[in-house]
Amino acid sequence: MKFLGYKRPDGRVGIRNHVLILSTVGCAAEVARQVAEGLNGAVSFINQNGCGETEKNLKRTRDVLVGMIANPNVYGAIAIGLGCEINQMGDFLKLVRERTNKPVEYLLIQEEGGSINTIAKATRLAQRMIIEASTCKREECDISNLILGVECGGSDATSGLVANPVMGLVSDKLIAMGATSMFSETVEMIGAEHLLAKRAVTPELGQRILQIVHAREEEQIAVGEDIRKTQPSPGNRAGGITTLEEKSLGCIHKGGHTPVMEFVDYAQEPTKKGLVLMDTPCYDLVSVTAKAAGGCQLIVFTTGRGNTVGNPVVPVMKVTANGMTYRHMEDNHDMDLSGVLDGKLSLEEQADIVLAEILRILEGKMTKAEVLKFGYSETVISRACEYC
């Protein structure tokens, strides 16, 4: 299957053509915001990190910031720092260049002589870059260039019954055509990790799946949360979920049935095609951010209760099989899958409809979160010990 996308100089394929105004440290965040706000074609997000960080946290910050620049939906970036921060611009740009050769300009507020000078210069640089970007034309690209992120949040009974199974079928179909589908949120794999491990493409990967999931479980136990003892919750049981593996499968089923090819670390880009897992916390904003940094061009987000999340560089297509939620929060959700619950459509038929809509979004149809310019404030970087 082919779609019209933007071919980048580093070989990746984008579905959007943004110029990213990036603050490499919190001290430059307001400058970056003011630059982006005045420009048509620029995106940005709040980054409050980049200084005063432990080594582990600095790595996470850099992995996300580098990944956001490298995301194929970004034509180029203007990186703005302060000057004296731990996340030194020179080191940061080296990491960027290891990932991508796309256009990147940088400024340091201490060198430019204050915020106003930096805003003026960054605006001029960005204006030029946006005009260059606007001359890019969409070209025919193979669907195998796609890394689809699948995410769930604000789940209810309809999520495990319809929305996630539909996305599982969509994942299977895309993977059969050579694409990649990625899901994450390691804590939600607890109870079904043995099933995922059996689907690993090699015994070593199976061991890695078990190790990562058990490490996350140990972290939970260390803070007093034993998921195997507390889940499924009494509310889950009343709602028809009997066992922990059933609950976890309801979540991970959105990745479909194909073999697991790889389990990448937080915010890392997959090196394999097919079904890929990423080790992330289950806080949606952190997980969506990590997938964007890992190179997903599109994220489909399944929900039951309703959700608002967007991302500055990646369209987040939100779907729900709860018809009431869809009607109640229609401005946040792109598709209503409740036809399956009304007995009008099979899961398979619904999956074909979702796949057709995904193709339209790949080729430029805007998601509701994009139109609302959501994502600026919802980009959250994982902190050591902070998010489960």
Partner 1 sequence: MESQFNAILIDPRDNVATVIKELAKGEKVVFLKEGIPVELVTTGVPIYHKVAICDIARGSFIYKYGEVIGIATGDIKKGMHVHTHNIRSASQFEEGSDDR
Q: Which of 272, 344, 360, 373 binds partner 1 (CB under 8 A)?
A: 344
Continuous H helices in 223-309: 227-230, 234-238, 244-252, 284-293
Asked if residue 246 binds partner 1 (CB under 8 A), the reply is yes
Instruction: Supply φ then ψ for residue 21, to 5 degrees.
Output: -100, 110
Nearest approach, Cβ of residue 34 and partner 1 (Å): 48
Both structure tokens of 381: 């970087």
Angle ∠(254,258,261) on CA atoms, nearest 5: 100
Query: Do the Cβ atoms of 331 and 372 come closer than 8 Å?
Result: yes
Q: Specify which residues 301 forms β-bridges with.
A: 151, 318
Q: Which of 105, 142, 225, 245 binds partner 1 (CB under 8 A)?
A: 245
Asked if residue 304 binds partner 1 (CB under 8 A), the reply is no
Asked if residue 243 binds partner 1 (CB under 8 A), the reply is yes
Asked if residue 264 binds partner 1 (CB under 8 A), the reply is no
Asked if residue 81 binds partner 1 (CB under 8 A), the reply is no
Asked if residue 352 binds partner 1 (CB under 8 A), the reply is no
254 to 14, 61, 303, 388: CA distances (angstroms): 23, 28, 12, 20
Stretch that binds partner 1, among 96-104, 110-118, 146-154, 341-349 (CB under 8 A): 341-349
Q: For strands 13-14 and 2-7, give the pairing.
A: antiparallel
Tokens 């939970």 -> residue: 220
Tell me, by CB under 8 A, how many residues bind partner 1.
30
Stretch that binds partner 1, among 79-87, 142-150, 294-302, 334-342 (CB under 8 A): 334-342
Nearest approach, Cβ of residue 344 and partner 1 (Å): 7
Asked if residue 142 binds partner 1 (CB under 8 A), the reply is no
Asked if residue 343 binds partner 1 (CB under 8 A), the reply is yes
Tokens 């959250």 -> residue: 380
Q: Which of 221, 239, 377, 384 binds partner 1 (CB under 8 A)?
A: 239
Q: Measured between alpha carbons, how far is 213 from 196 in angstroms, rounded to an integer?
A: 10
Q: Measured between alpha carbons, how far is 383 from 371 in angstroms, rounded to an integer?
A: 30
C-beta of 311 vs 320, nearer to partner 1: 320
C-beta of 90 vs 234, nearer to partner 1: 234
Question: With the C-alpha atoms ordered 227, 228, 233, 236, is the resulting torsion angle positive or negative?
Answer: positive
With helix as H, strand as E and coil as C, how does 9-49 read? CCCCEECCCEEEEEECCHHHHHHHHHHHHCCCCEEECCCCC
Q: Measured between alpha carbons, how far is 20 from 123 in angstroms, rounded to an integer?
A: 12
Q: Which of 29, 74, 126, 162 binds partner 1 (CB under 8 A)?
A: 162
Q: Which of 95, 201, 212, 347 binds partner 1 (CB under 8 A)?
A: 347
C-beta of 57 vs 171, nearer to partner 1: 171
Nearest approach, Cβ of residue 306 and partner 1 (Å): 18
Look up residue 284 and give its amino acid: D
Question: With the C-alpha atoms ordered 47, 53, 58, 60, is the resulting torsion angle positive or negative?
Answer: negative
Asked if residue 226 binds partner 1 (CB under 8 A), the reply is no
Stretch that binds partner 1, among 9-17, 19-27, 302-310, 336-344 (CB under 8 A): 336-344
Query: Do the Cβ atoms of 334 and 348 come closer than 8 Å?
Result: no
Asked if residue 89 binds partner 1 (CB under 8 A), the reply is no
Q: Specify which residues 274 forms β-bridges with.
A: 180
Nearest approach, Cβ of residue 40 and partner 1 (Å): 45
Nearest approach, Cβ of residue 253 and partner 1 (Å): 5
Q: Measured between alpha carbons, how far is 220 from 304 in angstroms, rounded to an integer?
A: 25
Asked if residue 250 binds partner 1 (CB under 8 A), the reply is yes
C-beta of 348 vs 363, nearer to partner 1: 348
Nearest approach, Cβ of residue 96 and partner 1 (Å): 40
Phi-psi region of 154 (alpha: psi -120 to 50; beta: other; left: phi over 0): left
Asked if residue 201 binds partner 1 (CB under 8 A), the reply is no
Both structure tokens of 6: 């933007």
C-beta of 115 vs 243, nearer to partner 1: 243
**Site residues for partner 1 per CB under 8 A:** 157, 161-162, 165, 168, 191-192, 194-195, 198, 237, 239-240, 242-246, 249-250, 253, 257, 340-344, 346-348
